[in-house]
Amino acid sequence: MHDPKRSTAGGRYPGYDVLSKWSGPSWNEKTREVIRRRLAIAPDPRFFTTEEFETVGAIAARIVPQPPTRPPIPVAALVDRRLDEGTMDGYRVPGMPRDGEAWRIGLRALDAEAHSAYQQRFAGLTAERQDMLLRRAEAGELSAPEWGTLSPRDFFRKRLARDIVLAYYSHPTAWSEIGFGGPASPRGYVRLGFNERDPWEAAEANGGDDAAARRSNRHVR
C-alpha cells in the first residue's frame, strides 16, 4: 500500500504532493482505484520479452530522463501494461501495424541498427550513440531490413515517443512535478481561464521565492 503523505515534488511546485488528495474531496473511490493500480505496477514485463523490455527502458531514459532524487516512474512497465491489456487509441496512421506489433518491429529494428553500427544491442550503447540512433529514426534516416514496411519516422513520432511520454505523464509522480491535480473526479476544475487556479490546485513558485507556494501547497486537497 502506498503512503499518501510521501513527498514527491519540489521545483516549481514546492511542497506539493498530488497523493495528499487521496482522502480529500478531489477524488472518489473510482479515481483512487485507477491510481492505486497505476502505483502498484511492478517494474517487470508481461508483454515484452526481457530483452525488449530492457530496450524500452533504455529508450525511455533518453526520451524522459528522470532525476536521481526520487524513485523513478516505471515508464517501460507502464507501456508494457498498456500493450498487455490491449488498450489502444482506436485509430492508426496509414501503414502503422497494431500497437504491439509496431513496438516489436521497431525494437527489433533498433537493435539491428545498433548491431550494424556498433556491434551491440541498443541498450548497451552509450547515451550519445542511443541519442544518435533515435534522432536518425525520427528523421527517417534508418534503413535496416528489419523495419520492413514500417516507417522509422512514423514509429518514432506516432508510437515510440508518444507512448513513452504519455506513460510518464500518466503517473502521479509526474503530476506532482507539473502541478497537476489528477483526474477531475468528482470535484472537477472550475477556473479554466488563462493563468487561473482553483484553490485545490498546486501553486507555482514565482521569482525564486517558493515560501508562499510551499505554504499554499501544504493545504491542497
Boundaries of every domain in the chain? 14-221
The pLDDT tens digits of the residues spanning 15-38 come to 899 999 999 999 999 999 999 999
SS3 for 174-198 is HHHHHCCCCCCCECCCCCCCCCCCC
Which residues, listed in sequence order, are joined to residue 27 by a DSSP beta bridge? 186
* Rounded CA separation 186/190 (Å): 12
Q: Are 63 and 29 in contact (CB under 8 A)?
A: no
Query: What does the DSSP assignment read for the chain?
Result: ---TT-----TTSTT--GGGGTTSTTB-HHHHHHHHHHHT--SS-SSS-HHHHHHHHHHHHHHS---TTSPPP-HHHHHHHHHHTT---S---TT---HHHHHHHHHHHHHHHHHHHHSS-GGGS-HHHHHHHHHHHHTT----GGGTT--HHHIIIIIIHHHHHHHHTTSHHHHHHHT---S--BS-----STT---TTSPPPPBTTB-HHHHHHHTT--
pLDDT, position 203: 84
Q: How confident is the model at residue 99 (pLDDT cuts 50, 70, 90)?
A: very high
Q: Percentage of the chain with pLDDT > 70?
A: 94
pLDDT, position 21: 92
Q: Are 186 and 29 in contact (CB under 8 A)?
A: no
Q: How confident is the model at residue 10 (pLDDT cuts 50, 70, 90)?
A: low
Torsions phi, psi for 96 (to 5 deg): -90, 125
pLDDT, position 209: 65
Cβ count within 10 A of residue 203: 22
* Rounded CA separation 99/221 (Å): 37
Q: How confident is the model at residue 207 (pLDDT cuts 50, 70, 90)?
A: low
Question: What does the pLDDT average to over 96-110?
Answer: 97
Most confident of the ranges 5-9, 154-158, 185-189, 211-215 = 154-158
pLDDT, position 175: 96
Q: Evaluate if residue 119 carries a pLDDT over 80.
A: yes
Question: What does the pLDDT average to over 67-88?
Answer: 95
pLDDT, position 162: 96
Torsions phi, psi for 209 (to 5 deg): -100, 105
- Those residues whose C-beta lies under 8 Å from the C-beta of residue 186, and which sit 6 or more positions away, are 25, 27, 28, 31
Joined grid coordinates for residue 177: 512535478
